[in-house]
Structure 1
Amino acid sequence: MANVVSVERVTLTLGTTKVLDDLSLGVLTGERIGMVGRNGGGKTSLLRVLARAVPVDSGRVTHPSGLTVGMLTQQDTLDPAATVREAVLGDRAEHEWAGDARIRDVVDGLLGGLDAGAVGGWESVVGPMSGGERRRLALARLLVDDPDLLLLDEPTNHLDVEGVAWLADHLTRRRTRPDSALVTITHDRWFLDAVATTTWEVQGGQVNAFDGGYAAYVLAKAERARIAAVTEERRNNLLRKELAWLRRGPPARTSKPRFRIDAANALIEEEPPARDDVELMRFATTRLGKDVIDLERASLTLGVASDTPREILRDVTWRLAPGDRIGIVGVNGAGKSTLLRAIAGELTLVGGRRKVGKTVRLAFLSQEVRELEQLAGRRVIEALEDVRQFTQLGGKEISASQLAQRLGFTGARQQTLVGSLSGGERRRLQLVRLLLDEPNVLLLDEPTNDLDIETLTSLEDVLDGWAGTLLVVSHDRYLLERMCDRQVALLGDGAIRDLPGGVEQYLALWSEQQASRASGGVAGSARGGSTGGSGGASGATSAAGSAAPGSGAASAAGPTSAQVREARKEVARIDRALARLATREETVHRQMAEHATDHQAVLELNRELREIVDERETLELAWLEAAEVAG
């Protein structure tokens, strides 16, 4: 094993914060390193140092001659005018990449097959695509290039459960060159466990290395904590003894040998500083009766007024019980977030009814953090006091200031303006404000976004003792299996399916559905049992390869020339509609910034923005269907 990167006594300061402090480490060939640590702790800065993409204040970073480096950042760097083919394959000839099994695996796993069906075709333009689609393209380009040193900053962001499983398999089985190395920042603990041979914990400008993935890291850290606790207890005993001796009265103290006083002072100085814990309190919950939220013979369709409505639910009965802890998984576009919004009452059912128990206090953590924009000019402590100035913790009443310290906003951070917080801190503040309202029904849409592992662990600990009903949409398998008692799936056929076998059963169902679509068959023959208490529709998933809207189903021999022409017209129409939506969305964002202090105006604009997002999702799905026929 040879060194791929050598970091020697590197120091890096950003602003007034020393991010890396006299750090020395190396990356060896064959290593797969997972990097964890608190948001703002220096993980991304270290990744950029390894890539030599940022100058260091002191020390040296060396690469061997001829080393190729590829880095996936969290910023979008793709050329918006490029096509999918140019963005992913560059100038490679078709026979060159199509004949390479590794590249075909990347295309299948991230882009939906050799015709790039998941992104609308090879010749589609990058510009109008969503952030998640562009990130898939950037990741695909890196994996196609296959550099010697692969640096990935949160590669699982915007990937669904099956995408995360594919990526882990690709990195551990397909990308096996002995002269290559991988370093990835991730908060996805299942992915970390599946991929990493070594875990780096970045903390206080230093890196602590642990052999193995997340499970091994937790075990090793617990053992280190146990040893430290034994040492600390021994030191505390000595400290108490020395302090008791020093406090035996002023006359006696003046006659004590000087070395004894120095020894006691040394012990005091060695006391570790208070931990900057990210700890969420256990919030009181109001009592839930037997009725929580029921969907009775519910049907839900997005884009009813459009030419291409999308069915999310069809005649589904689903009853949530007190204490239910349910994880929701499903393919992208199946309507997971839409289902949560329907349960929350933000969307109106097109059929059936939503029944809510009298004692329900519902809280909904959406993927949007724009609700904090109206608080951008306020301080963290004020944002908490807006919800509640005092609360109960451990049987005692504590102030919002004390609570802010317990939540990781220590020292001056609780006086920081909300608008200056990092993405992870804003997400944490959003979640805490939500929980401070003491809900007993909690809907979480991708709660892992922007949260570090320490915060996620604290959140799980809070919810372990939380006595309400919980629904979670997430691609984080570890969180779903840790936090929820059962999982259900949306596969895009209007039904909600129970998954007694958990995420593994969902992946098997999804694989079968993909295989059935590829062969033109009907998917869903091995579906899981129907949801408890559910009268949901049980029809089989429709065959793949839908024809363009209004053109009738394509024949087994393929679409006719007339169908292709109609599909191309549909693609052009939708492209124009998407461009208009993009302009509207920019206008709404600008208006939200201008009216940040007008709460009512922001609410109205946010409602309009959600309508735009829903319409765009419907149009994108229709675009994909038409593009499949247009070729």
Structure 2
Amino acid sequence: MAHLLGAEALHLEYPARIVFDSVTIGVNEGDRIGIVGRNGDGKSSLLGMLAGLREPGSGRVTVRGGVTIGVLDQADTLDDDDTIGHAVVGDAAEHEWAGDARVRDVISGLLGDLPWDARLDSLSGGQRRRVALARLLAGDWDVLALDEPTNHLDVEAISWLAAHLKRRWPASAGGLLVVTHDRWFLDEVCTVTWEVHDRIVESFEGGYAAYVLQRVERDRQVAAIEQRRQNIARKELAWLRRGAPARTSKPKFRIDAANDLIADVPEIRDAVALQSLAVSRLGKDVVDLLDVSVSFGDREVLKKVEWRIAPGERTGILGVNGAGKSTLLGLISGTTEPTSGRVKRGKTVKTATLTQRMDELDEHLDDPVRVVVSGLRTSYTIGSGSKAQELTPGQLLERMGFSSAQLSTPVKDLSGGQKRRLQLLLILLDQPNVLILDEPTNDLDTDMLAAIEDLLDSWSGTLLVVSHDRYFLERVTDQQYAILDGRLRHLPGGVDEYLRLRAAQDAQRAKSAPASVPTGSSGLSGADLRAAQKELAAAERKLERLGSDIAKVHARMAVHDQSDYEGLGALSAEIRALEQQTSDLEERWLELSEEIG
């Protein structure tokens, strides 16, 4: 494979510490590299040096002649006076960018909900981030260097971005460097993983799942990482093998080796014990939403929602921005009142919400971490039954990645990730029995996410999670719901089912909306164009029928005798066959859409 860029003997240090010491690495044609590591270990610095944005203290970065590098860093460099359209396509005439299938795909995937002529100073930080990403992806680059590209993207946009990057170059061309804590994205896109740690960069073959396996093997052989971190990694590997068939069906790591490694690892959660403990703490009644609707002025956000939340339930909630997720959480926590219908709460329910605002820390900003924690409970129980374990707040802090030195740090001087962990700690020490997590993964690296997931595995209350981090959502919850057109819908097929439903919605809207692409941009002759349009319309009708058929089979499964394993297996096989037809037809639909323009 041809060499694109590389680094030789890179050294980088700050007054207080050395970040890299003689690092030599390279990027070849076809490499799709994910960069992981603890916060502060130098991931963004490495990306910046390779992309030419910062100079190393010593050593050098070499780029093959003619290679172009496109960079998305975390700085906002957009002009407030610019418009979305001009920021993305510049002065290009409409027929030029509208005739480019890739540019249209980028605009649709990232900016479909934003007005094309809106000024950038009217956008939120997350919207500006999407504009910056769209501007970059609309260009033609040999190498893309992306620093946290999934920040501010929802599940659909992250799925779109993964698909875009996978098809952007031929398999043996182009190069990708991406710093991200989104483990699903790493597994979906990357073929190589670089771990930044202890002043070095260590390379692993494959995406996140393969990296976890290889890291466990490395740690077992050389005992380079403390035992508890290894156990968490092995536990995560067990989940990857047992609980994520969609991942492990791919040849990303050796199945036999993985099975040997997890032979003595128990299931990640003792569901029976946790359920029993949840019932003892909560009783049988938690929160019931009974025919609930919520309106704000003339806009009905939620429509006739019926949901009886059970003790010990672990549910993920999906929906586009503005769909009503926060309103739904407000009904459960009691901060929002329904316009119609009734919310019924159990007498013993104690709800706590991990918000994105970190309000819990405001009164403690000048206090050292040790002082904040000392004013709370003296112990915290994890696990249940014979496996129950009492931890002091200090031990819990250590488990969540705080060093002894950091216990004396004032809260205001903590990093974003440290504040996030402390916020969760304060909530857990208050011992709620219904825990709501609203985008809990912000500012956390992959190791710390694994540690928090491990902690939540032993939490015995009802858990409700809203997150755009697909990996985290699938890892800590047992089922998912979606808010679609104001209604709450159960997703037996999980996140994949949600993405199919949303794609079907978008296809239906596109079918009924007037065309916005200039006529004649497809390049097809009249007869070929009419034939492609006819096939496209037929594909859209069949996709709608398949979506309806899948929903009907799910409905049959829901009322089927759950002890009839043979019958349930036949229904599952029927769903898989319909889903495969849907997937094949969606690929053909995309091909036709690109041909037609």
Query: TM-score band (shorter)?
Result: 0.7 to 0.9
- Which whole-Å deviations, capped at 9, do the CAs of 1:489-548 have from their partners, x for residues lacking one? 112x22100111111111111111111111229999738468999xxxxxxxxxxxxxxx
Partner of 2:163: 169
Equivalent AA in structure 2 for residue 317 of structure 1: E
For residue 467 of structure 1, the aligned residue among 445, 460, 472 is 460
- Which whole-Å deviations, capped at 9, do the CAs of 1:225-275 have from their partners, x for residues lacking one? 232359999xxxxxxxxxxxxxxxxxxxxxxxxxxxxxxxxxxxxxxxxxx
1:505 and 2:497 aligned: yes
- Which whole-Å deviations, capped at 9, do the CAs of 1:349-398 have from their partners, x for residues lacking one? 11122211112121111121244233221112222223334445787765
For residue 195 of structure 1, the aligned residue among 189, 197, 202 is 189
Partner of 2:238: none
CA 1:362–1:497: 2 relative to 1, 3 Å: same
- Which whole-Å deviations, capped at 9, do the CAs of 1:54-84 have from their partners, x for residues lacking one? 2222221222233322221223221111011
SS at match of 2:356: coil
SS at match of 1:519: helix
SS at match of 2:300: strand
CA contact (8 A) 1:34 1:185 kept: yes
1:367 and 2:356 aligned: yes
Equivalent AA in structure 1 for residue 348 of structure 2: T
- Misfit runs of 4+, over 6 Å: 230-233, 282-286, 393-396, 521-525, 529-533
Partner of 1:421: 414
For residue 351 of structure 1, the aligned residue among 323, 340, 345 is 340
For residue 444 of structure 1, the aligned residue among 437, 448, 460 is 437
Displacement after TM superposition at 1:222 (Å): 1.7
CA 1:232–1:505: 2 relative to 1, 3 Å: closer
SS at match of 1:119: coil
Partner of 1:83: 83
Query: Whose radius of gyration is greater, 1 or 2?
Result: 1
Displacement after TM superposition at 1:418 (Å): 1.2
Displacement after TM superposition at 1:463 (Å): 1.9
Describe how 1:156-305 pairs up with structure 2 within 5 A: 156-176=150-170, 178-229=172-223, 287-302=281-296, 304=297
| CA distance, structure 2, for counterparts of residue 469 and residue 406 of structure 1 | 22
For residue 409 of structure 1, the aligned residue among 397, 402, 405 is 402
CA contact (8 A) 1:441 1:470 kept: yes
TM-score between both structures, scaled by the size of structure 1 = 0.70
Partner of 2:247: none
Displacement after TM superposition at 1:21 (Å): 2.0
SS at match of 1:363: strand
Partner of 1:544: none
CA contact (8 A) 1:318 1:532 kept: no
| CA distance, structure 2, for counterparts of residue 290 and residue 392 of structure 1 | 22
Partner of 1:257: none
1:145 and 2:139 aligned: yes
SS at match of 2:349: coil
CA 1:300–1:504: 2 relative to 1, 3 Å: same
Equivalent AA in structure 2 for residue 424 of structure 1: G
SS at match of 2:294: strand
Identity of aligned residues (%): 52
CA 1:179–1:385: 2 relative to 1, 3 Å: same
| CA distance, structure 2, for counterparts of residue 104 and residue 194 of structure 1 | 23
Displacement after TM superposition at 1:44 (Å): 1.0
Partner of 2:9: 9
Displacement after TM superposition at 1:209 (Å): 0.8
Displacement after TM superposition at 1:178 (Å): 4.9
1:514 and 2:506 aligned: yes
| CA distance, structure 1, for counterparts of residue 160 and residue 225 of structure 2 | 44
Aligned residue pairs, count = 473
Unpaired segments ≥5 residues, structure 2: 228-272, 514-540, 560-597
| CA distance, structure 1, for counterparts of residue 107 and residue 327 of structure 2 | 29
CA 1:476–1:230: 2 relative to 1, 3 Å: closer
CA 1:515–1:51: 2 relative to 1, 3 Å: same
Partner of 1:340: 329
Unpaired segments ≥5 residues, structure 1: 113-117, 234-281, 534-631
Displacement after TM superposition at 1:344 (Å): 0.8
CA contact (8 A) 2:324 2:486 kept: no
CA 1:370–1:46: 2 relative to 1, 3 Å: farther
- Which whole-Å deviations, capped at 9, do the CAs of 1:290-336 have from their partners, x for residues lacking one? 0001111211123x3xxxx4322122221100111111111221011
Partner of 1:101: 101
Partner of 1:28: 28
